Structure 1
Amino acid sequence: MGTGVRVRVGSALHSEVVEWMDAEAELLDDYREREWLEGMVSRDIVYQVPLRQTVERARGMGFLEGTFHLDETYGSLQSRVARNETAYAWAEDPPSRIRHFVTNIKVTDEGDGLVGVRSNLLIFRTRQDQTQPQLLSGERKDTLRREDGTLRLLHRRVLLDLTVIGTHNLSIFF
């Protein structure tokens, strides 16, 4: 998160952000990706999932600068959503069953209509008749921007806890 002022739990802004995050999770869980993209995501979005490696504590958290599992813009997110709406999205047809669990939401007011949000994320995913679910956990560092009175996702950085992602694809949205 930035250097903004921490927003107290229960304040109007904190409640608005929590409601925004709940609505986002619901849209993604319900495969309403177009509604999510057009209604909640800024056209200026930077959406990244950096690569992680296991390193000694003295070398930091192990995220490689400039190396990503996903490094998306609005255009690339739009392409992914459009592809999922066709009959050619074989990686997700039939679609995975997904639940986003978002917790530990911390909010900062960054000024100039920007809001910093730090949260923990657990994605529970099953596919077809698999008996073992796939779990993806990590931390999200988001920046929301107020655009025409509505909060929109401007920047998302997902810091996964995994160094090796044991899933058959990354066609989901974090």
Structure 2
Amino acid sequence: MSKSENRTSMENFELQLECTNFLNHEAALLDDNRLHDWFDLLTEDIDYRVPRRVTRERNSEVSEFSEEGYLYRDDHGTLSTRIDRFDNDYAWAENPPSRTRRLVSNIRPEELPDDDVDDVIVKSNLMLYRSQGDTTDYDLIVGEREDRLRRLDGEFKLSERVVYLDQSILDSRNLSFFL
């Protein structure tokens, strides 16, 4: 029997609430441009990927998502470098800073069946609104995220994120934001 089959309704509710609170807190940190605080929510072995969506014919057995091409493919080191770059004068893409709003919904946690691991896989839907400067232009990016949350010292940390965007082409000036 898996962990999820052994949990009571109250334990399922508590896990749902804990995952929802984590993802809402994470979204607030990113929307408030508190990138260093957001970075503290990541494990040192973080794997952060946004594979390119490839349009396929209807009955194709090949995945719609590339296993070779990525919009983002980051680890702890590259994420740290990207965040540190925002602290200096060379972050031209973010001058003026973007204004973002992340709407995270349809949060679906599922504990892994392995009793030795205190990880939770969480699927959620994401809608990111982004504007910048004094123009009427904005980005609206939508997709599904699959996260692996790991409980360390009683708190969740993000150890893996894969974002499956609904768009196959992003009409964005730059990709200087996190999903």
* TM-score for both structures, normalised by structure 2: 0.90
SS of the residue 1:172 aligns to: coil
Partner of 1:55: 56
Please state if 1:131 is matched with 2:136: yes
For residues 164 and 69 of structure 2, the distance between their equivalents in structure 1, rounded to whole angstroms, comes to 12
Q: Which residue in 1 is equivalent to 2:4?
A: 5
Q: Percent identity?
A: 38
1:94 & 1:162 partners in 2: Cα distance? 26
Distance in 1 (alpha carbons) for counterparts of 2:155 and 2:161: 17
Give unpaired runs (5+ residues) of structure 1: none
TM-superposed CA distance for 1:66, in Å, is 2.2
Deviation for aligned residue 1:70? 0.6
Deviation (angstroms), 1:129: 1.3
Q: 2-side partners of 1:165 and 1:61: how far apart? A: 19
Structure 2 residue 154 is the aligned partner of structure 1 residue 152? no
Q: Give runs of aligned pairs for residues 12-51 of structure 1, distance below 5 A.
A: 12-38=14-40, 40-51=41-52
Does 2:132 correspond to 1:121? no
1:88 Cα offset (Å): 1.1
Whole-angstrom distance in 2 between the partners of 1:139 and 1:56: 21
Whole-Å separation in 1 of the counterparts to 2:3 and 2:127: 26
Alpha-carbon distance between aligned partners in 2 of 1:93 and 1:156, rounded to the nearest angstrom: 27
| Alpha-carbon distance in 1 for matches of 2:51, 2:59 | 19
| Separation in 2, partners of 1:4, 1:131 | 49
Q: Deviations over 1:143-164 (max 9, x none)?
A: 1011121100011000011111
What stretches of structure 1 move > 2 A for 4+ residues in a row? 3-10
Unaligned runs of 5+ in 2: none
Residue 147 of structure 2 is aligned to residue 142 of structure 1:
yes
Instruction: Provide the rounded CA distance (Å) in 2 between the counterparts of 1:57 and 1:141.
Output: 24
Distance in 2 between the 1:57 and 1:42 partners?
38
TM-score normalised to the size of structure 1? 0.92
After the TM superposition, which of the residue ranges 127-136 and 160-169 deviates more from structure 2? 127-136
- What is the deviation of 1:5? 3.1
Q: Is the contact made by 1:117 and 1:142 (CA closer than 8 Å) also made in structure 2? A: yes
* Paired amino acid for 1:5: S
Task: Provide Cα deviations, 1:54-96, integer angstroms capped at 9, x if missing partner.
Answer: 1112225511112111100010000000001112100011111
Larger radius of gyration between Structure 1 and Structure 2 = 2
> CA 1:4–1:118 in 2, change beyond 3 Å: closer, same or farther?
farther
